[in-house]
Amino acid sequence: MTSTPVFKGAKPISIKIEPWTDFPRQSYSIQGDDFCHTKPLTVKLNAKGSRSTVNIKETFSHKEGKWNIEDDVKLWFDLQNNHSLYTRIKSSNYIKVHYDHGITELFTKKWNIYGTYWTDKSLSKNSFRIGAASLHEKCDSDTRIRAN
């Protein structure tokens, strides 16, 4: 069983296509998100290496007379043998770790095997997700299991 890269340094299929394992993007609403009197400052730092990416977002907001700082940190590491590790941590009580084993050839078929662990910061809520995608030039199938 070997794992072969599709594109060196590219995000794996399980992250960039599927919303089930995707790291969701922030919703955008000009009516509520970007007015300077509620969110006067947003700072973003993006650093991309040949085998890793770091995204940091700090949002300063002012609502009902109180100042608030929200953190959002995303890390992606391209591991050896086309394996990948993603993490996302948000100050709003959100921690996610996603492992993608890469495309593997098993029984003369190509498979993409991946798993996700999600929890809150107190580790009181947990979700485990495992998926296996069968990749074929004419038809792909994806099977997933989730346990909370």
Kindly state the tokens that stand for 15: 């992250």
Regarding beta strands 109-119 and 141-147, do their DSSP bridges make them parallel or antiparallel, or are they unpaired? unpaired
Percent above pLDDT 70 for the chain: 75
Q: pLDDT band at residue 13, thresholds of 50, 70 and 90?
A: low
Residue 140 lies in a domain: yes
104 found inside a domain: yes
- Total Cβ atoms within 10 A of residue 61: 16
Domain membership flag for residue 51: yes
* Placement of tokens 């590790």 in the chain: 85
Q: Could you report the per-residue pLDDT of 120-138, keeping only the tens digit for each?
A: 988 889 999 999 888 888 8
Which neighbouring-strand residues pair with 111? 104, 134
Count Cβ atoms below 10 Å from residue 76 Cβ, excluding itself.
22
Query: pLDDT band at 7, cuts 50/70/90?
Result: very low
pLDDT tens sequence across 74-87:
998 888 888 889 99
- The confidence score (pLDDT) of residue 28 equals 47
**Is 31 among the domain residues?**
no
Range of the domain at 79: 2-23+38-147
pLDDT of residue 15 exceeding 80, the answer is no
Q: What is the pLDDT of residues 16-70, one digit of tens each?
A: 554 545 555 444 444 445 556 677 888 898 888 888 889 999 988 888 888 888 8
Is residue 30, in this structure, part of any structural domain at all?
no
Flag whether 64 is in a domain.
yes
User: Is 33 domain-assigned?
Assistant: no
Q: Number of structural domains, the chain?
A: 1
115 within domain boundaries? yes
**pLDDT of 118 over the 60 cut:** yes
Helix (H) or strand (E) holding 72: strand 66-78
Tell me the β-bridge partners of 146: 129
